[in-house]
Amino acid sequence: MKKFIALVFFKSSYDLSKKNSNVAIIGGGDGGVARACIENNSNYIDWYELDPEVVDVCYKHLPKVCSKVKKSNKIKTFWGDAFESIKSVEDSKYDKIFVDLNDDQYCIDLARKNMKGLKRILKKGGVITAQVGSNDKKPKQVNNWCKVLEKSFGNVTLSGAHIPSFDCNWNFASSIMK
């Protein structure tokens, strides 16, 4: 199931831009998005993750999701606060940024507060995609995520897929850096 969600997450971005060389992942402790990036031929992946314990647990208990991630030499992991870490990243470095945080108001506010930094490191024509939760079950939070991206980039595309075990559609919002 995690593989399916991560592939839908990746595809949401890929449909808007085929450029896939340099990728940043903000969060995503389970490794699913990193794995989807590897499987879809991303050349260089910077993974900004707060909690090494979460990643270690996922490596141990989700080997089908994480084995390729653990073995990959394409991934460089930065531990700690992602938004602090990206302050030292060069401008316009990434073709894609995946924001894989919790789908709650706290994380929406955190992304909003740090959107200037995310925009700074995204290349022109690059795509930022956020996992935004379920429009079926929590439309207000999905709408709040979309507002953040619309305000920051002037565009937003909402996509998703039905996840049977969640009994709902799961959504992803993407914006292009113009």
pLDDT in tens, 2-23: 444 555 555 666 555 666 689 9
Average pLDDT estimate for 70-98: 94
Residue found by looking up tokens 């894989």 in the block: 100
- 94, 127 Cβ separation under 8 angstroms: no
Name residues whose C-beta falls within 8 Å of residue 145's C-beta, 6 or more positions apart in sequence: 103, 108, 111, 130, 132, 133, 173
Least confident segment among 12-21, 72-81, 114-123, 155-164: 12-21
pLDDT at 170: 87
* Cα-based angle 139, 142, 145 (whole degrees, multiple of 5): 150
Ranges of each domain in the chain: 2-176
- pTM, two decimals, is 0.89
> Is residue 70 a contact partner of residue 101, using CB atoms and an 8 Å limit?
no
Please tell me the distance from the alpha carbon of residue 127 to that of residue 114, in angstroms, as a whole number: 16
In contact, 160 and 8? CB cutoff 8 Å: yes
- 128 vs 162: CA distance, rounded Å: 22
- What CA–CA distance (Å, rounded) separates 127 from 124? 9
Average pLDDT over residues 58-69: 81
Angle at CA of residue 100, ends 115 and 106, nearest 5°: 60
Neighbours of 90 (CB within 10 A): 8
Q: CATH class for domain 2-176?
A: alpha beta
Task: End-to-end CA distance of the chain: give it in Å, rounded.
Answer: 33
16-25, 139-148, 167-176: the lowest-pLDDT one: 16-25
Show Cβ contacts of residue 19 under 8 Å, excluding neighbours closer than 6 positions: 95, 96, 123, 125, 126
